[in-house]
Structure 1
Amino acid sequence: MSKHKHDSTVLLIAIPFITLMAFASLAVAQDAMQSKQFQADTGPVTVTWSQPATLPNAADYQVKISDLDRNGDGRISRNEVPVGHALASEFKLVDRNHDGFITAAELANWH
């Protein structure tokens, strides 16, 4: 690959990454920021990241069977989990015996 094509490829990758990092830094201004600097062929590269001080869905992980059990059978089916709830994306993981329902014991192991 010629030097010019290599430089163009680096720019095509770097510009979206830099733009993403700029927007991400605005979104997480309240969080603990961390940085690490690396030396690349094109010069120094600084990567900045953060982790939220609190999880936006932390309350999802404190859920009880009674909070979601709409039909009163003492267990949670996939249909009873609201869209966007942490349990919706982790249902298969929590349902240890893969019967399609989450029991109190399975939920306790998830917390």
Structure 2
Amino acid sequence: MKIHRTHVLTIALLGVLASGSAAAQTELAPQAKQETETTAEAANAEARVARDEAQVARQAAHAASAASAGGAVTADGAAQAKVSAYIADQASIDAKTAATTAVDAADRADRASDAVDGNTAEPLGALVAANRAANRTSAATAAAGVDAVVAEAAAQDARDAVAEPAPAPKPMAAPVPAAVVITSGPGDSIVGDYKINFAALDKKGNGELTRAEVKSNPTLTAEFKAVDSNHDGRLSKHELEGWR
């Protein structure tokens, strides 16, 4: 529980008044009256804080209610917003109750101060009453502050619940393998610009050269298989285009 420096001084003064002689109590009466007034002022200041906290909680409850009533993108979001709005509303009610308690306690401290000022109450009794009221005000103000925090958090939860969820990341496309193209064509020759006399080699005159007919050309013999693109064992004029 929060205890003010004023309350600490009050406790010390109460000890003196309670244990001292009548003469001591009479001598300390003016100080007791001053302490009672100071305690009442502190209680009123805390009561104002409690009212402010209740106002914060009430505004948060209204915001949560508006968010819930505005509709949500998803059914789950709507349900969560409704729950959050209820929590904020209950916290607002609790904060208002705490603020009322703080104000009532501060009023009691004021009455104690007024009584001792008007000499309708003895200083010791007034100081005790004011001190108790101030402590009650402090406790109620702290409770109102907690309720305000709860209400604000619930309001934020309600806003988050109705907001459109972030889009899910797009799945990465699987890599497409490069197309493999298989072509059929003449084999590579190691001597692309080599020249031959096709007519001289074509002993049969049938427009084709066999292995036997190209034996006299060592290079063409070595590359016969590469040049024979259709693998029929014969070299046509077309297959020997680069050799003519």
TM-score interval, normalised by the smaller of the two chains: 0.3 to 0.5
Structure 1 length as normaliser, TM-score?
0.41
Decide which structure has greater helix share: 2
Structure 2 length as normaliser, TM-score?
0.20
- Whose Rg is larger? 2
Decide which structure has greater strand share: 1
